[in-house]
Chain A
Amino acid sequence: MTLEIIGISVLWLFLFLYVIVASIDFGAGFFNAYSAFSDKQHILTGIIQRYLSPVWEVTNVFFVFFFVGIIGFFPQTAFYYGTTLLVPASIALILLAVRGSYYAFATYGAKINHRGYIYMYGLSGLMLPAALSPVLAISEGGFMRLEGGQPSLDYWALFTSPLMWSIVVLSIAAVLYISAVFLTWYAHKAGDAKATQLVRKYALVWAGPTIITATGIIFELRGHNPEHYASLLDLWWMFALSFLLFLGTVFLIWKKRNYGLAFILLVGQFFTAFFAYGASHYPYLLYPHLTIYDSFTNESMAIALIIAFIAGLGLLLPSLYLLFRLFLFDKDYVKGKSDYHA
């Protein structure tokens, strides 16, 4: 295994973790806003506040970890992606600010629960994946021009691309699906039958769109990037495995059985699909300009980063375990029996 592969695997793993934890966060906000809109408020609010409030900052760090890490391991990405992503990334930052400030002002602070704020918070959860996911489309190539050695984004090509829009739709559907499956489990653990029923319904609703758009993207890649399409097909068995795991989740949710296992299968489904997609993208970070080899940092930095990473994990894993034990696996806390907020 080369240093390049270790580097990109670590980053891809953290991006995957971000996709899962952020999806839970984004989707929950949207469901909360939707129930406020349809006057079913309070069914979800308590659950969302109990789970999301203590962990959202941790969620955010996964994202920071990814973009700081990619500059560290692959500094040339700063040049290509940094220059071209100014506008979409700034929009994503504003949306993240909406979410962060909602936690700060509405749940920690003076409990400003103005409806407008709840809607903004909810909508930001859908707009964030829509703002972030086009990067995946851009990485497929064909949307970036080099003028006088300086890269710039071809907005027209991007916004008229069916590939880009499918990725956006997939990201939104996946956010809602992941979130709904998780919340079904969490609500069930909390012993809240009403909430469980509601989010279980959402999970079943969003399962279909998720799998349909995901399949659609594979076929769109055939036209857009035949090289990538070919290597995707080489990994067909991983996507098949992912599909089986998907069926497992839907079956369990449908039969109202074993929600915990359903969520684990879902993580497995996204894990296999995410890594199959990542592996088929290899070695490109950006078709056709940038590979993990020509953008890689020097060897001494790579080794230093990997050592720092291992040391950091040694510190983080026990702390994360403690966090989850207290807020995710503690029955009294999940059920809302105990309130120890400062």
Chain B
Amino acid sequence: MGFEDTALMSRILTLMTLSFHIIYATIGVGVPLMIMIAQWVGIRKNDEHYILLARRWARGFVITVAVGVVTGTAIGLQLSLLWPNFMQMAGNVIALPLFMEVFAFFFEAIFLGIYLYTWDRFEDQRKHFLLLVPVALGAAASSVFITIVNSFMNAPQGFDVLNGELVNVSPLLAMFSPAVPTKVAHVLSTAFMTSAFVLASIAAFRLLRGSNHIYHKKALFLTMKLALVFSVATAIIGDFSGKYLAEYQPEKLAAAEWHFETGSEAELVLFGVLDGEEPKYAIRIPYALSILAHGVPSGEVIGLNDFPEDEIPPLWIHYLFDTMVTLGMWLAFFSFVYVVGAWRGWSIVTRKWFRWLTVLSGPLAMLAIQAGWWFTEVGRQPWILRGYMKTSEGATTSGQVDLMIVLFAGLYVILGIGTVVVLSRMYKRNPVEKELAQRESVKGGEE
């Protein structure tokens, strides 16, 4: 009993740390690209507003990065503290991308420090802009390497097990598991998409709160355009992810879709409740599951009946999957309406209720990220390393995990509140109108 308990406790603590960290990690991967684009547009158009936009985003970004460093260090260490048996095995096969991630982050941290402390230090703005390239590259590379490790957990390869010993280890083969292409692309595009929506939320909120400055309008239009691009990319990649799952992790797709019997012309089940093996009150889309899995209505989708009972993920991941997909679809649709509306001059996009919907889009995108990660992690259960090691076998035997849960819960609450308070106070004290006026007067003085 005690053994099972520590595994459950370790899962809870890991879930807590990752759910909190992913907020900062997503912003950490996505926002540098947004800053880069804004600064680039500013330099190209010689428009002070976009430059200031980049600068103000950078100021907020550094705070989220600092908290992200803290939570990232926590999860890095917790992997070994909570899952020592797993890490001992994984260390032999998948240590390479973990190691490379540290370098990528190192690279990012160095240039972020330089970038932040060298505003206006260079005559040529483009030099300063160039410093941002390694930041964005390092951030993206970090997430690629970590996602590679996660892919390995889902589709392990690159080693053989002989009498309980790991042999024929190939670190490169382990790195490039079949899960990598879709997972990496999905993580990157959703990070960009979510960051764009979060920044759009902020701009929309400022516009609602009385500031009618063109600066916010430019920010909103820019971020919504980017949000649309990455929402569409995410949808396309999501389709490939479905095909990956059908091929390599059919039990995850089947559990997510409540698909019990192997068969072709499978329907996609949205929401509903489960009565035995019969979904009730659900929206059913004929052939859609077969199309998602294989691209044709006649595609045969493997059902849960083909798996032993104790190797099936919990069926409630259905709701996580549906939440993720629904939110993704809504956000793609919503940003499409906005961009077309703003371009064609529809008055609806400047209405108050529409602005409020825009404010909502950032939190919704973040919710979709959470649902997605919960889905992929819970959907891998009962495995920590699919087919090789069960989650309960990977966990620590230390009896103090419950106490640590309390400790870290307190920490994350404080960090979360601190982030919100500090960010809002920072921007409130130095509103954009004030800063623009200051920059104008400085320039006037110089001429």
Contacts and interface: CB of A to CB of B under 8 A. Distances in A.
Contacts of B80: 67, 71, 78, 81-82
Interface in B85-120: 85, 87-93, 95-96, 98-103, 105-107, 109-120
A1 interface: no
A57 B169 contact: no
Contact of A64 (B63, B65, B105): B105
A63 to B, nearest CB: 7
Interface stretch (B68-76, B245-253, B299-307): B68-76
Nearest to A151: B397
Contacts of B117: 53-54, 326-327, 333, 340-342
B133 interface: no
A54 B103 CA distance: 18
A264 B41 CA distance: 46
Given A60-B73, A86-B398, A94 B411 contact: yes
Contacts of B119: 340-342
Given A71-B91, A150-B397, A305-B96, A58 B67 contact: no
Contact of A57 (B59, B66, B81, B98): B66
Interface stretch (B189-197, B355-363, B415-423): B415-423
Nearest to B101: A68
Contacts of B109: 57-58, 60-61
In order of increasing CB-CB distance, the 4 nearest A-B pairs are A75-B91, A82-B84, A104-B66, A72-B95
Interface in A50-78: 53-55, 57-58, 60-61, 63-65, 67-69, 71-76, 78
Nearest to B90: A75
B99 A54 contact: no
A165 interface: no
Contacts of B58: 342
Contacts of B423: 109
Q: Which of B91, B93, B415 has the most CB of A within 10 A?
A: B91
Contact of B99 (A72, A80, A100, A333): A72
B56 to A, nearest CB: 8
A285 to B, nearest CB: 13
B106 A78 contact: no
Nearest to B408: A90
Q: Which of A64, A94, A112, A323 has the most CB of B within 10 A?
A: A64
A87 B93 contact: no
A160 to B, nearest CB: 20
A9 interface: no
A293 interface: no
Contact of A301 (B113, B169, B411): B169
Interface in A310-342: 312, 315-316, 319-320, 322-323, 326-327, 333, 338, 340-342
A337 B382 CA distance: 59
A130 B346 CA distance: 63
Interface of B: 55, 58-59, 62-63, 65-67, 69-70, 72-74, 76-78, 80-85, 87-93, 95-96, 98-103, 105-107, 109-121, 134, 166, 169-172, 396-398, 400-401, 403-404, 407-408, 411, 414-415, 418-419, 421-423, 425-426, 429
B27 to A, nearest CB: 13
A230 interface: no
A317 to B, nearest CB: 11
A320 B110 CA distance: 7
Nearest to B175: A304
Nearest to A59: B109
B96 A316 contact: no
A48 to B, nearest CB: 15
A338 B121 contact: yes
A65 B99 CA distance: 7
Interface of B is mostly: helix
Contact of A104 (B67, B76, B95, B396): B67
A81 B396 CA distance: 11
Contacts of A86: 81-82, 396, 398, 400-401, 404
23 contacts: A61-B105, A65-B102, A67-B80, A74-B91, A78-B84, A79-B84, A79-B88, A90-B81, A100-B66, A104-B62, A104-B418, A104-B419, A105-B418, A108-B63, A109-B423, A110-B421, A110-B425, A300-B171, A304-B171, A304-B172, A305-B95, A315-B103, A319-B111
- Say which size band chain A's interface belongs to: 35 or more
Contacts of B96: 72, 301, 304-305, 308
Q: Which of B73, B98, B100, B166 has the most CB of A within 10 A?
A: B73
B81 A322 contact: no
Contacts of B112: 57
A298 interface: yes
Interface in A174-214: none
A139 interface: no
Contacts of A71: 80, 87, 91, 95, 98
Given A78-B88, A340-B120, A100 B67 contact: yes
A2 B184 CA distance: 36
Nearest to A296: B92
Given A75-B88, A104-B67, A305 B99 contact: yes
Contact of B70 (A83, A97, A301, A304): A97
A231 interface: no
A103 interface: yes
A35 interface: no
A90 B98 CA distance: 20
Contacts of B91: 71-72, 74-75, 78, 297
Contacts of A305: 95-96, 99
A158 interface: no
